Amino acid sequence: MIEMLNVVKKYNGLKALDNITFSVNREEIFGLLGPNGAGKTTALRIMSMLVKPDSGEVIINGMHQKENNRRIQGLLGVCPQEIALYLELTVRDNLLFFGMMGGLSRKKAVIRAEELITEMDLEEKAREKVSLLSGGMKRRLNIAVSVIHKPRVLFMDEPTVGVDPRTRASIFSLLHNFKNNGMTIIYTTHYMEEADRLCDRVAVMDRGRIIALDAPKVLKSSLDPTGQISLEDVYLKLTN
Amino acid sequence: MRVLALALKDIKALTVNKKELLLHILLPALIVLMVAALFGGEPALYGEVVLVNHDGEGMAEIFMERLKEERGLKVLVTDQNEAQRKLMSSEILMFTEIPAGFTETLSQGEPPEIKVYRRGVGGSSGQMLLALLKAILAEMSGEVQITRLAQEIAAEHGENPLQDQEVLIPFMESFLRSARLNPTVKVEEIPLGRPQNMAAFFISGVMTLFMVFTATFYAQNFVEEKNNKIMERYFFVGLSKGEILLGKFLGCFFRGAFQLVAMLLVAVLFTKVLSGVNLIYILSFSLVFIAAVSSVGIFIGAIFPKPGQALWASIIFTLINSALGNTFAFARTETALVNYINYFTISYYANSGLRGLITGDGLLFSIKGEVFILIFITVLIFAVSGAVFSPAENS
């Protein structure tokens, strides 16, 4: 679904991404792991076309990013770490607004908004202002708004930072649903347990390079054939 | 269509946000109402003349009547103590005392005498009032002199009907009335534009101030949307950079238009300040100005990375445009440096245009220069904003 080929990105002369190459398969949950400054967010922003690489190629759904900017744009959805919502508007109004922004007619946006309100378990709060929702509800709505236009690829930048275990579990459940409905998800996180549980494959990044890439189970068994080691141990070993 | 939906969302967000509604809609409307109440009313030519009448006889009454006949002059009769209290407390800058024996002195053909008490020179209106009082007194004195002269001539020419006082006095009064109606000096008054009115002056200033503030204050929202990644959401639902910028510009413009309508409604419904003014012209010109300041708001939002920085930029821009640009005061001399600086403020063109419409000839054509400059500013700043704006950070 996504191919990153020899991508380089520098900020002030420092290499944020150092010639990285990897691919993400269709309908998989792909994790980008690494310490702060490893280049996860830069990689995510380049894949999602928010940042242009200095060199290299990005191919999404068979289309080169440089030549098919607008066509690719409609395939993508991004769920930022921040609550990117209009706090003074209601849950329903936010979904309707972003649905219409996503090119849906008002009628279709209403139907889609109701679908997502049910899916996110926000029925009772549909008429409430977002500012009055709990943190977990805001997170769920943040995700709902990201998929209102039914993107094929969803980029999520640490969506579980600061959320309680219950909300985290409900987010995992949502992501599995999205995956089962044909969505490809690229996910950055600091939580190894979370990546182990959720991701089909993970790429461990350090200093702008990918130092390991495989399914969590394979990475663990490569370092400890008994399988007793955790992904966190693998991560710590790889990143010193 | 999506651009319009983006803009209309900002209006909806404004209407459900009580704080912003209060700050950007209710407060400006109330200030307009307050200014109209403080400075409204009929314009006075010379202001108010305060008289203390110690004479109370015929000539003093005639003197007061003649003053009352002066257009735009309000005559207030009071007692000595009250007049002195008002003068000492600076409620008035001068008052006039008609002394006892005024009628007797004048009737005998002697020079009439009045006393004028004043603070300093009595202000510029006091100087004009003094000239007016002297002119009326001179006229009355002249009339008495002529009547007395006619009496003397009639007496010297033996038997004739004018020797009889009952015939002479009405004859002279009729003659003098006729003379007053046909003065030797004719001044033709040609009104150009509408009367100068303090309320109209301040209302255009208040409108300009709030339009600048609301549009530039919007920059803070703009930066917040950039920082909390809402702008990125727009990008992912397929909006181009230009569409996002245009949608935000229109959002800012609609908010300003909403505020303008509120201010104009208050001015029209509750005051007489804008009566007789072509509201369509006022509305049209103000919308051009709102477009110009909206582009400034978008520019501030596009260049500053933090909401606090954008807020300060908007406050400083508003303060400069309120202090300068003839918003609330004019420079004393044409050649003052501030007059040249004014040309670099956006409010200068707004105030000039609005006052031209409210107190000038009221024609949109006559302020075409201001309209052209504001449109030019809108296009230029919007284009520059487009060049520096990015919906995503560090891209």
* DSSP secondary structure letters along A223-240: H-TTS-S-HHHHHHHHT-
pLDDT tens digits, one per residue of B277-313 = 778 888 899 999 999 999 999 999 999 988 999 999 9
Chain-centroid distance, C-alpha B395: 49
**Residue A124 domain-assigned (yes or no):** yes
Amino acid identity at A210: I
Mean pLDDT of chain B: 83
Judge whether A87 is closer than 8 Å to chain B, CB to CB: no
The rounded distance, in Å, linking the Cα atoms of B98 and B53 is: 5
* pLDDT computed for residue B395 by the predictor: 41
* Coil, strand or helix at A188: strand
Q: What are phi and psi of B188, to 5 degrees?
A: -90, 125
Nearest Cα to Cα of residue B13 among B200, B336, B252: B252
Strands (E), chain B: 47-53, 73-78, 94-98, 115-118
> For the residues A203-225, what does the mean pLDDT come to?
83
Judge whether A70 is closer than 8 Å to chain B, CB to CB: yes
Q: At what angle do helices B307-323 and B346-358 cross, to 10 degrees?
A: 50
**Range scoring the smallest mean pLDDT among A175-179, B223-227, B286-290, B359-363:** B359-363
The rounded distance, in Å, linking the Cα atoms of B267 and B34 is: 10
The rounded distance, in Å, linking the Cα atoms of A184 and B308 is: 38
In angstroms, the first-to-last Cα distance of chain B is 27
**Residue A111 domain-assigned (yes or no):** yes
- Annotated domain spans of chain B: 2-40+196-388, 47-181
* Percent of residues, chain B, with pLDDT higher than 70: 88
What is the edge-to-edge ordering of all strands in the sheet holding A209-214? Answer: A76-79, A153-157, A184-189, A29-33, A201-206, A209-214
> For the residues A164-183, what does the mean pLDDT come to?
86
* pLDDT computed for residue B394 by the predictor: 41
State yes or no: pLDDT of B184 exceeds 70: no
Closest CA in chain A for residue B390:
A50
Structure tokens at B376: 């030019």
pLDDT greater at residue B182 or residue B101: B101
Query: DSSP letter string over B55-107?
Result: --SHHHHHHHHHHHHSTTEEEEEE-HHHHHHHHHTTS-SEEEEE-TTHHHHHH
Contact A11 B232 (CB under 8 A): no
- DSSP β-ladder status, A14-24 and A2-11: antiparallel
Element of type H or E holding A220: helix A216-223
**CATH number of the domain to which A97 belongs:** 3.40.50.300
Amino acid identity at B300: I
Structure tokens at B336: 């003052």
State yes or no: pLDDT of A91 exceeds 90: yes
Structure tokens at B111: 């020079």
Mutate to test the interface with B, among A51, A101, A104 (most CBs of B within 10 A): A101
pLDDT tens digits, one per residue of B51-109 = 999 998 888 999 999 888 877 788 889 999 999 888 888 788 888 999 998 998 888 88
> For the residues B327-337, what does the mean pLDDT come to?
75
Contact A129 B5 (CB under 8 A): no
> For the residues A108-112, what does the mean pLDDT come to?
91
Q: How many domains does chain A have?
A: 1
Instruction: Tally C-beta pairs within 8 A across A and B.
Output: 76
> For the residues A111-130, what does the mean pLDDT come to?
90
* Coil, strand or helix at A17: strand
**Range scoring the smallest mean pLDDT among A117-131, A189-203, B153-167:** B153-167
State yes or no: pLDDT of B330 exceeds 80: no
Write the CA distances from B82 to A96, B64, B87, B95, integer angstroms. Answer: 69, 18, 9, 10
* pLDDT computed for residue B380 by the predictor: 95
Task: Please report residues of A whose CB lies closer than 8 A to that of B5.
Answer: 97, 100-101
Task: Please report residues of B whose CB lies closer than 8 A to that of A86.
Answer: 9, 13, 230
pLDDT band at A15 (very low <50, low <70, confident <90, very high): confident
B366: exposed, middle or buried (Cβ count in 10 Å: 0-12, 13-18, 19+): middle
Contact B236 A48 (CB under 8 A): yes
- The answer to whether domain B47-181 has CATH 3.20.20.10 is no
- DSSP β-ladder status, A209-214 and A201-206: antiparallel
Residues of B with CB under 8 A from a CB of A: 2, 5-6, 9, 12-13, 16-17, 227-230, 232-240, 392, 394-395
The rounded distance, in Å, linking the Cα atoms of A232 and A211 is: 15
Write the CA distances from A184 to A26, A49, A70, A169, B330, integer angstroms. Answer: 6, 16, 19, 19, 65
pLDDT band at B253 (very low <50, low <70, confident <90, very high): very high
State yes or no: pLDDT of B195 exceeds 60: no
* pLDDT computed for residue B147 by the predictor: 81
pLDDT tens digits, one per residue of B357-368 = 887 666 777 788
The DSSP output letter for B163 is G
> For the residues B261-273, what does the mean pLDDT come to?
83
Structure tokens at B282: 């006022």
C-alpha Rg value of chain A to the nearest Å: 18
A226: exposed, middle or buried (Cβ count in 10 Å: 0-12, 13-18, 19+): exposed
* pLDDT computed for residue B41 by the predictor: 57
**Residue A202 domain-assigned (yes or no):** yes
Q: What angle do CA B184, B186, B189 make, to 5 degrees?
A: 160
Beta bridge partners of A32: A188, A203
* pLDDT computed for residue B362 by the predictor: 67
Closest CA in chain A for residue B247:
A101
* B237, B240, B395: residue with CB nearest A102: B237
pLDDT tens digits, one per residue of B16-54 = 888 888 888 889 888 888 887 777 655 545 577 899 999
* pLDDT computed for residue B196 by the predictor: 60
Q: Return left, alpha or beta for B25; rule: phi > 0 is left, psi -120 to 50 is alpha, else beta.
A: alpha
* B5, B16, B234: residue with CB nearest A88: B16
Contact A84 B232 (CB under 8 A): yes
**Residue A14 domain-assigned (yes or no):** no
What's the complex ipTM? 0.79
Task: Please report residues of A whose CB lies closer than 8 A to that of B229.
Answer: 78, 80, 82, 84
The rounded distance, in Å, linking the Cα atoms of B186 and A148 is: 80
> For the residues A72-91, what does the mean pLDDT come to?
87
Domain around A165: 25-40+82-238
* pLDDT computed for residue B378 by the predictor: 94
State yes or no: pLDDT of B227 exceeds 90: no
Closest CA in chain B for residue A71:
B238
* pLDDT computed for residue B332 by the predictor: 67
The rounded distance, in Å, linking the Cα atoms of B186 and A38 is: 91
Contact B392 A84 (CB under 8 A): no
> For the residues A212-228, what does the mean pLDDT come to?
79
- For B17-48, b/e burial (b = at least 16 CB within 10 A) is beebeebbbeebbebbbebbeebbeeeeebbb
* pLDDT computed for residue B290 by the predictor: 93
Contact B230 A84 (CB under 8 A): yes
pLDDT tens digits, one per residue of A16-60 = 888 899 899 888 999 988 888 888 888 888 888 888 888 888 888
pLDDT band at B339 (very low <50, low <70, confident <90, very high): confident
* In contact, B282 and B194? CB cutoff 8 Å: no
Contact B237 A85 (CB under 8 A): no
* B2, B16, B229: residue with CB nearest A84: B229
C-alpha Rg value of chain B to the nearest Å: 31
